[in-house]
Copies of this chain bind each other. A is one copy, B any other.
Amino acid sequence: MAETADRILQAADELFSLRGYAAVSARDIAERAGVNKALIFYYFESKEALFRRVLDQYYEGHVKALELPTEGSYRERLHTLIDHYLDFIEDNYRYLQLVQREIIEGSSRLPYIQQNVMTLYSRVRDLLGDLVPASGALDARQFFVSFSGLINTFYVNAPVLGELWAGQQMDAAQRLARREHLHWIVNTLLDRLESGK
């Protein structure tokens, strides 16, 4: 039944995101999914294949989120790109943790991640255009790293940041405040870059 495969996939998604690939056993996944352990290897050929399926599900959505908006000024388009990326992250909050873990562990799928990073970077670089120098401390690469860090850090580190908001859950209001903060920073940086031209 397709339902069984789905339950395995979802349980695997949750556990891999929580504890990583190596720390999760087939038995763990079977127990959480409420199915027999052997069924994991019946529906998916191996634990490795199951993990790749979990990742593939996210990458599809990720690629869509990276589509470049065509309307408006470069500044409006940059804000739209950031909003689309934030939408995706908030709908798939486990994805960021999975990717972050793969990066730290030096996973074999790192080239795939790099490809996504380069795609996103080229869009930010095109948007910034000749507003920034071609190299040095204010080049497009630096700003791309900065934007990524500004956005991702909030979600990746949510488990420890909870204390900052005094035990409050990371609710919709907080995500909205973060979004507003990010747009304020981007505008402030763009203003300065434009005035410096």
Q: A144: which B residues are within 8 A, CB to CB?
A: 164
Q: A152: which B residues are within 8 A, CB to CB?
A: 149, 153
Is A180 in contact with chain B by the CB < 8 A criterion? yes
Is A39 in contact with chain B by the CB < 8 A criterion? no
Is A68 in contact with chain B by the CB < 8 A criterion? no
| A148 vs B155: C-alpha distance when bound (angstroms) | 13
Check A178–B142 contact: CB distance below 8 A: yes
Q: A18: which B residues are within 8 A, CB to CB?
A: 105-106
Q: A164: which B residues are within 8 A, CB to CB?
A: 117-118, 121, 141, 144-145
| A152 vs B154: C-alpha distance when bound (angstroms) | 12
Q: Mark A114-147, 1 if CB is under 8 A from B, else 0.
A: 1001100100000000000000111001101110
